[in-house]
Structure 1
């Protein structure tokens, strides 16, 4: 189904990519942006150490607060403010790394469906490498293996700066191996990082069940054809659980299926703005 550009996720994902990486000249200068905006944790996976990044990473910020033994009021407030209205929508509409994985999955290849239980791993990643272990060991453990940081920052700094390359050892090789597995895996399965490993996605997903905007499912109209799963970037059957922590609120299924809808708070109004050419 054709979607107007102003309602298209790709439009907003690209805008977010540009806004979060405005300092592109730093790739030539070999510097980091260190202006005032760096104190703001932008709610998406975009590495602090990327030369073009003008914001900080919320996961790196959370880890930093844990190392400093401080409670991250500021960062959690930002995450709450952007997630409470619509749940995990940032993952579907803003995150540049989600966009990359969506594009990689379009490459013709054998496609693999992964067990849904693996999605629990992202909560373990949030709990241990981001929160608990940094508090005790004073190390930013998730940042040390984050594939987003390796892709956006690590490869550049090691590849183009000999003084940093001399310091790279087995840890960097380990980071690159993880990145290759995640990025390469996105060709064969839908969004492996978002679904199984992203601690920020785990945080956002907690708001799906408390968001005042609800997804609804009408069993009498549902044929369980699994078209919703086919068009879903995270391979979710929304009829099984409309407010699941898996859902990234991309609206692909809502636009395509008459059995699905959105219920707005207070008014109880439902969105009927859907194509009459729906295959369902």
Structure 2
């Protein structure tokens, strides 16, 4: 197990250390739930001790009063400036789940057909389900709705719906077509995660879209020393995200390119040594 995997496990445990919730099926509701974690981790997961930033953003757009979520937006801005998509690779519990599923032996689709189109699909998802539909629902009916969380998010289904329905059988009476639809989507996602590396991160996740906007300039991340780069293309070939350029909006700072670059042109930047290579590698 490498450094990244250890940090992923620690982060997932820290986000979900309310162990009693997994036993009694009760959602943790203490003051820490007002704080957002960087990655995708459902608020309603019985073990969750903090809020999901995407869920908090959607919550502000639901109900009978639309609010501008300054705190959530500020938190997302801060996370983006400091981490970028480093969060996706190192600090996201749902990213860890995808990494673990991809380790299941079997055939792998390393080069996804229609990759460029699929990458744009996540921008459409973010704009439509995070921005347009919640506001449109409010304008039409007077009640906004968290469209992404309600109709798509597999993290919410896996981390919240599955354990809560298992622990509290009375909740099954409230199951409707939306729950059935989300379980169907979850099944598709889980199966695809075995054969394709992080399909949700790459083609669906709105948080990845947001953090990707900061990836080039975030304090933590991957950079390339152009004067050392020989354009051999090894970084692209070893990248599980199929990033065309190390450190671009697709890059999750997994470190495979830094370990593989024959000319040591790719490095981790950090706030202490922002201008040049950090010493050491990912593993």
Pairing partner for 1:208 from 215, 223, 233: 215
SS at match of 1:166: helix
Question: How far, CA to CA, are the matches of 1:146 and 1:28 in structure 2?
Answer: 24
Give the deviation of 1:265 after TM superposition: 7.8
1:70-85, aligned counterparts within 5 Å?
Answer: 70-85=67-82
Other-structure match for 1:278: none
Question: How far, CA to CA, are the matches of 1:66 and 1:15 in structure 2?
Answer: 31
Pairing partner for 2:232 from 209, 214, 224: 224
Contact 2:247 2:253 in 1 (8 A): no
SS at match of 1:215: strand
Give the deviation of 1:243 after TM superposition: 4.0
Q: Which structure 1 segments of 5+ residues have no match?
A: 276-280
Other-structure match for 1:104: 101
Contact 2:119 2:203 in 1 (8 A): yes
1:160-175, aligned counterparts within 5 Å?
Answer: 160-175=167-182
Give the deviation of 1:143 after TM superposition: 0.9
For each residue in 1:105-148, what CA deviation from the matched residue of structure 2 results, as whole angstroms up to 9, or x when unmatched? 12222212221331122222221211221122111111112100
Give the deviation of 1:205 after TM superposition: 0.8
Question: How far, CA to CA, are the matches of 1:272 and 1:155 in structure 2?
Answer: 42
Question: How far, CA to CA, are the matches of 1:9 and 1:193 in structure 2?
Answer: 19
SS at match of 1:84: helix
Q: Quick check: 1:261 aligned with 2:262?
A: no
Give the deviation of 1:262 after TM superposition: 4.8
Question: How far, CA to CA, are the matches of 2:49 and 2:83 in structure 1?
Answer: 26
Higher mean alpha-carbon deviation, 245-254 vs 176-185, is at 245-254
Give the deviation of 1:188 after TM superposition: 0.6
For each residue in 1:203-222, what CA deviation from the matched residue of structure 2 results, as whole angstroms up to 9, or x when unmatched? 11111133356611547643
Other-structure match for 2:29: 34
Other-structure match for 2:53: 58
Q: Which structure 2 segments of 5+ residues have no match?
A: 138-143
Give the deviation of 1:229 after TM superposition: 3.6
Give the deviation of 1:58 after TM superposition: 0.8
Question: How far, CA to CA, are the matches of 1:262 and 1:89 in structure 2?
Answer: 10
Pairing partner for 2:202 from 187, 195, 199: 195
Give the deviation of 1:232 after TM superposition: 2.8
TM-score scaled to structure 1, two decimals?
A: 0.86
Give the count of matched residue pairs.
266
For each residue in 1:24-78, what CA deviation from the matched residue of structure 2 results, as whole angstroms up to 9, or x when unmatched? 1112112110000111121111001111101111111111112241112111211
Question: RMSD of aligned C-alpha atoms?
Answer: 2.4
SS at match of 1:143: helix
Question: How far, CA to CA, are the matches of 1:57 and 1:195 in structure 2?
Answer: 19
Question: How far, CA to CA, are the matches of 1:219 and 1:270 in structure 2?
Answer: 12
Other-structure match for 1:186: 193
